[in-house]
Amino acid sequence: MKTRLKELRARHELTQEGLAKMVSVRRETIVFLEQGKYNPSLQLAYNISQVFKIAIEEIFIFEDNE
């Protein structure tokens, strides 16, 4: 899965720590999301989309493994 999280954070001048606090997770979770090493729960994806006020699909890009 690809993510635009780092780009969106930069655009909104948010640190990893700041975003983590806003969505009630640890900073490490944001790091792993940005690196594509962690797939968010639906609740976390929704919470992040609410912070940036865009659709989940605009943040997380699910790739087909074909």
CATH number for the domain harbouring residue 19: 1.10.260.40
Residue 7, domain member (yes or no):
yes
| Predicted TM-score of the model (pTM) | 0.90
pLDDT tens column, 28-66: 999 999 998 999 999 999 999 999 999 999 999 887 764
**Which DSSP letter does residue 25 get?**
S
| Residue 66 domain flag | no
Angle, vertex CA 35, rays to CA 20 and CA 48, nearest 5? 35
pLDDT bin (cut points 50, 70, 90) of residue 1 is confident
Per the structure, the complete domain to which residue 49 belongs is given by: 2-61
Domain count, the chain: 1
Q: Please check whether residue 29 lies inside any domain of the structure.
A: yes
Look at residue 6 and tell me if it is in a domain.
yes
Domain for residue 35, yes or no? yes
Asked if residues 59 and 49 have their Cβ atoms less than 8 Å apart, the reply is: yes
Average pLDDT rounded to a whole number, residues 7-28? 97
